[in-house]
Amino acid sequence: MNIVILASGRGSNAKRIFEVKKSGGLKNVEIKALLSDKENAPALKIAEDFGIESKYVDVMRKGAFFNPEGTQNYISTIDSYTPDLIVLAGFMRILPVEFVEHYKDKIINLHPSLLPSFKGKDGIKDAWDYGVKVSGCTVHYVNAELDAGKIIAQKIVPIEENDTLESFEEKIHKAEHELLPKVIEDLSK
């Protein structure tokens, strides 16, 4: 199964996928490239360090959305890798309907909450501020509605009495690093 990873930031989830692959996991997976909407995203350097092709692809618009030319730019770039699966690992853009329809049932997203609760970009802080006792992370298929696609898998993370927002966030990221590679492995079978 050929995958393309989209990431906007630090790249910790992409790094975990690369580590699992390098250590002999994800046997049926070929990581074709990591693409980023941020020219200086640390994720690009991480991919490069693992020998994975990395590329900045401009969405041609500031903010959370693509412009039409940026959408076509992403589609043509991704199509060149003939992916079976597109993995959103900290990609902080809202995908246009045209993009989602072009890759129908081929895009998965990692979200830092137990969806359908706490959708959007601040899932960890929103859960913390709300005072929930349990949160977690979700991998789901992407559809035209934000964080509303069919759920593939979730991992629960309890909030302990002595947790801080920072320790809770760390626990969520640890859970993400376990869940995302497992889902990719399962989908590759």
111 is catalytic: yes
* Options 102, 111, 140, 173, the catalytic residue: 111
Q: What pLDDT tens digit does each residue of the chain (189 aa) get?
A: 999 999 999 999 999 999 999 999 999 999 999 999 999 999 999 999 999 999 999 988 777 888 899 999 999 999 999 999 999 999 999 999 999 999 999 999 999 999 999 999 899 999 999 999 999 999 999 999 999 999 999 999 999 999 999 999 999 999 999 999 999 999 999
| Number of independent structural domains in the chain | 1
Contact 184, 85 (CB under 8 A): yes
What residue numbers bound the domain in which 91 lies?
A: 2-187
Cα–Cα distance, 43 to 94 (Å, whole number): 19
- Spatial CA neighbour of 55 closest among 29, 73, 37, 82: 37
Q: What is the crossing angle of helices 165-187 and 12-22, to 10°?
A: 50
The CATH number given to whatever domain includes residue 62 is: 3.40.50.170
